[in-house]
């Protein structure tokens, strides 16, 4: 693919608002995970909760008010992102800027609350329940489009935990097909009973904080996050420090709805395609931001796939013990960590990982350290056997 410039990037997670909060935590090796207070789960689960989401959206957007859109609003306001989109609108026109959002559960928490307040006689939902603006998968897209004043093509990808990662591929294709000149990608996933009790039912939720690639790992910790990126065609000669999207790869496991292929075959296909799409060899990748959710099978499959393709030494780590698994928003956490690794020259560690599983390759970083980073591969995999890898870099060669 022709590289695209990433001219705006924002992130909000349990680590805080703005990329700088994430950077401070990466540098200090500080996890945001804490015992889950959000729902009364029957286990000692830890979670990465975003604080301060109790304030409703401003009156002009009150129809969209729900936890997920509040979280999205925070990320649109962070890192000067909304202003960068306003600049893109001024440059290209609102109808030439696409908006491609991603989420797994949108505002379903709002519907969960509405179900507890159903009319005892008729079973009807409470008055004023706003389906399109809160429950629908595209409620996030409707909200972000209204908030940013965009008028270009828009839809919401919902491919479970690979939703926002796949948006980078979608945006590149939409710009390539001439359907828009620039694209906002991003999304949000927030706590709800559906995911907390759902992952608990699957038996993949950790007691205590998640420990990716640890020999004693015992499952995931869920986190909340929202993030956005602004993509535009890159100039022929990008600035040396410009952040670029270099390639994307996608595949399906065709194996099981909620368990990854233990051999990591599909994951390897996505990574190989991302390299081919970027015209890069494996040794040109300096750091791999792993999906690494700390499940027994998932981490093992990813380790096989990554080591098979890159060998044992390429530095690698997962964001999950910093932020928790932020589900559909995980691609934006990956993009933010990749951008920080490149801009700050830093390889992040994995704070709760204490003893690397001896079956795994040596490249896993438990502690962060400074190092020059030119290109980063980010992985995101999800239910339905969906796999996506994308590569960010500071220069094409």
Partner 1 sequence: MRLFLNAVALRGPGLEGWQASAPILAGKAPYLAAPTLIPPATLLPPNERRRAPQTVKLALAVGAEAFTNADAEPACCPVVFASSGGDGETIHEILATLAGPVRELSPTRFHNSVHNVAAGYWSIATGAKTPATSLCAHDGSFAAGLLEAGAQAVAANGMVALIAYDLPYPEPLATVRPIAAPFAVALLLSPVAISQSLARLDVELCASGTHACAIPELEDMRRAIPTARALPLLEALARGEAATMTLEYLDDLALAVKVMPL
For the bound state, the minimum distance from the C-beta of residue 172 to partner 1, rounded and expressed in Å, comes to 8
Q: Find the helix packing angle between 296-310 and 265-278, rounded to 10°.
A: 40
Residue 364 a catalytic site member: no
The rounded Cα 254 to chain-centroid distance in angstroms is 22
Q: Tell me the three state secondary structure of residue 93.
A: coil
The answer to whether residue 325 is catalytic is yes
Residue in the block written with tokens 């590149």: 172
Does residue number 191 form part of the binding site for partner 1 (CB under 8 A)?
no
Concerning whether 369 is annotated as a catalytic residue, the answer is: no
If the CB atoms of residues 41 and 78 are measured against partner 1, the closer one turns out to be 41
Q: Judged by CB under 8 A, does residue 112 bind partner 1?
A: yes
Q: Is residue 176 a contact point for partner 1 (CB under 8 A)?
A: yes
Smallest distance, Å, CB 252 to partner 1? 4
Which residues contact residue 157 at a Cβ distance below 8 angstroms, ignoring those fewer than 6 apart? 100, 101, 102, 163, 164, 166, 167, 170
CB 336 within 8 A of CB 376: no
Interface characters, 343-382, with partner 1 (x: CB under 8 A): ---------------------------------------x
Would you state the structure tokens that stand for residue 258, as one six-digit string? Answer: 């909620």
Q: Which of 136, 218, 395, 396 binds partner 1 (CB under 8 A)?
A: 136
What is the Cα–Cα distance from 22 to 173, expressed in whole angstroms? 29
- Looking at 36, 161, 378, 388, which residue is catalytic? 161
Q: For the window 257-296, what string marks contact with partner 1 as x by the rule CB under 8 A?
A: xx------xx--x---------------------------
Distance between CA atoms of 314 and 38, rounded to whole angstroms?
A: 37
Q: Are 85 and 8 in contact (CB under 8 A)?
A: yes
Among 108, 305, 306, 337, binds partner 1 (CB under 8 A): 108
**Choice between 126 and 370, CB closer to partner 1:** 126
- Residue placing its CB nearer to partner 1 in the complex, 22 or 293: 293
* Out of 69, 164, 190, 251, the residue judged to bind partner 1 by CB under 8 A: 251
Catalytic residue among 36, 180, 210, 325: 325
- Least Å distance, CB 202 to partner 1, is 5
Asked if 93 is part of the footprint of partner 1 (rule: CB under 8 A), the reply reads no
Q: What residue ranges in the chain does DSSP mark as E strands? A: 4-13, 16-17, 34-35, 46-48, 97-102, 154-157, 182-189, 222-223, 225-233, 244-252, 287-290, 316-318, 346-347, 369-370, 375-382, 386-393
Distance in angstroms (rounded) separating the CA atoms of residues 155 and 284: 33
Candidate residues 52, 178, 240, 358; the one interacting with partner 1 per rule CB under 8 A: 178
Asked if residue 197 binds partner 1 (CB under 8 A), the reply is: yes
Q: Within 10 Å of residue 84's Cβ, how many Cβ atoms?
A: 18
38 binds partner 1 (CB under 8 A): no
Contact between 158 and partner 1 by CB under 8 A: the answer reads: yes
Cα separation, 208 vs 205, whole angstroms: 9
Please report, as ranges, the residues that interact with partner 1 according to CB under 8 A. 1, 95, 104, 108, 111-112, 115-116, 118, 123-125, 129, 131-132, 135-139, 141-142, 151-160, 166, 170, 172-174, 176-179, 193-194, 197-203, 250-258, 265-266, 269, 382-386
């Amino acid at each position: 693919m022709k590289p695209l410039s990433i001219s705006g990037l924002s992130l909000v997670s349990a680590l805080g608002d703005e990329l700088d909060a994430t950077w401070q935590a990466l540098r200090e090796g500080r996890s945001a995970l804490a015992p889950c207070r959000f729902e009364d789960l029957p286990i000692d689960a830890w979670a990465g909760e975003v604080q301060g989401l109790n304030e409703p959206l401003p009156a002009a957007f009150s129809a969209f008010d729900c936890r997920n859109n509040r979280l999205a609003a925070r990320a649109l306001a962070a890192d000067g992102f909304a202003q960068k989109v306003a600049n893109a609108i001024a440059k290209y026109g609102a109808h030439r800027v696409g908006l491609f959002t991603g989420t797994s559960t949108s505002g379903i928490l709002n519907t969960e609350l509405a179900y507890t307040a159903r009319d005892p006689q008729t079973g009807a939902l409470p008055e004023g329940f706003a389906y399109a603006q809160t429950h629908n998968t595209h409620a996030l897209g409707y909200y972000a489009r209204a908030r940013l004043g965009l008028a270009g093509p828009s839809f919401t990808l919902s491919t479970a935990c690979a939703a926002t990662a796949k948006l980078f591929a979608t945006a590149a294709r939409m710009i390539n097909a001439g359907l828009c000149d620039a694209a906002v990608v991003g999304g949000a996933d927030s706590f709800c009973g559906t995911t907390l009790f759902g992952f608990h039912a699957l038996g993949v939720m950790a007691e205590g904080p998640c420990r990716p690639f640890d020999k004693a790992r015992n499952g995931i910790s869920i986190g909340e996050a929202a993030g956005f990126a602004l993509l535009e065609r890159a100039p022929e000669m990008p600035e040396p420090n410009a952040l670029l999207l270099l390639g994307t790869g996608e595949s399906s496991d065709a194996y099981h709805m909620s368990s990854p292929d233990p051999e990591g075959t599909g994951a390897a296909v996505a990574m190989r395609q991302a390299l081919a799409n970027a015209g890069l060899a494996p040794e040109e990748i300096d750091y791999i931001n792993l999906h690494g959710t700390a499940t027994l099978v998932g981490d093992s499959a990813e380790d096989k796939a990554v080591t098979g393709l890159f060998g044992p030494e390429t530095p690698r780590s997962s964001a999950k013990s910093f932020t928790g698994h932020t589900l559909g928003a995980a691609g934006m956490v990956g993009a933010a960590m990749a951008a920080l690794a490149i801009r700050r020259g830093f390889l992040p560690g994995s704070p709760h990982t204490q003893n690397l599983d001896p079956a795994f390759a040596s490249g896993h970083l438990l502690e962060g350290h400074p190092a020059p980073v030119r290109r980063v591969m980010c992985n995101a995999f999800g239910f339905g056997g969906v796999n996506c890898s994308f590569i960010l870099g500071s220069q094409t060669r």
